[in-house]
Amino acid sequence: MAEGIRIFLGINTCITPIEALLKRLGLCVPSNLMRLTDAKNLHVTLQFIAAFPSEKLCELIKEVEMLAAKTAVFSLPLQGPAPFPSAREPTHLVLPVASSELSALVSALALMLEALGIAPELRPFQGHITLGKIHDWTRLQPFLDPFKAPMIDTRIMVREIMLYQSTSLEGKSAYTVLKRFALQG
């Protein structure tokens, strides 16, 4: 499937505690060690499709609407910043997120995409919010010491699923919201 549009289903996480954390990181971390995510791009990717057939977009929207109508609002606890995908070879600094509700939603979306003829993601789901792209992990680590404490009592209320289109502009990703799907409750 070479032709199509780059889309993903996600959760918008532009909330004050995460934006404040980004601001603090920006003040403490030299830009040559890590490029911070633009606050307006903060999200949790649930399912990414590199080349979605545009002729199936209406069908996808209808299916996600039905799924959202059956999915209750839920909360996600935030963990402290961590290297991603691993501490041995990190490429990004993230806030890991996990819950049984999130796992169930990701699984339901994968089944829905399979029914539409879209191959599921082969890698296991690792929910996270990307804070920045790491350029030099070894030199970055001492700057992260003040941020190691967990974000106690900070939760994201998940009230909707977003359908985003992803485009690349000058090496940076830009996300456009195509549709919002309200969860129940």
For residues 11 and 67, give the distance between their C-alpha atoms in angstroms, rounded to a whole number: 14
Residue linked to tokens 């485009």: 167
For residues 114 and 103, give the distance between their C-alpha atoms in angstroms, rounded to a whole number: 17
Higher pLDDT: 66 or 172? It is: 66
Question: Which pLDDT tens digit goes with each residue over 150-173?
Answer: 655 688 899 999 999 999 888 778
Question: Which pLDDT tens digit goes with each residue over 92-146?
Answer: 999 999 999 999 999 999 999 999 999 888 889 999 999 999 999 999 999 998 8
- Does 92 qualify as catalytic in the annotation? no
Domains of the chain: 5-182 (3.90.1140.10)
Set 10, 25, 43, 47: catalytic member: 43
Give me the pLDDT at residue 134, please: 98
For residues 167 and 98, give the distance between their C-alpha atoms in angstroms, rounded to a whole number: 27
3-state SS of the chain: helix, strand, coil percent to 5?
Answer: 30, 35, 30
Set 12, 64, 109, 128: catalytic member: 128
Question: Which pLDDT tens digit goes with each residue over 6-28?
Answer: 999 999 988 888 898 999 999 99
pTM (predicted TM-score): 0.91
- Does 43 qualify as catalytic in the annotation? yes
- Asked if residues 22 and 131 have their Cβ atoms less than 8 Å apart, the reply is yes
Question: Is the per-residue pLDDT at 147 higher than 90?
Answer: no
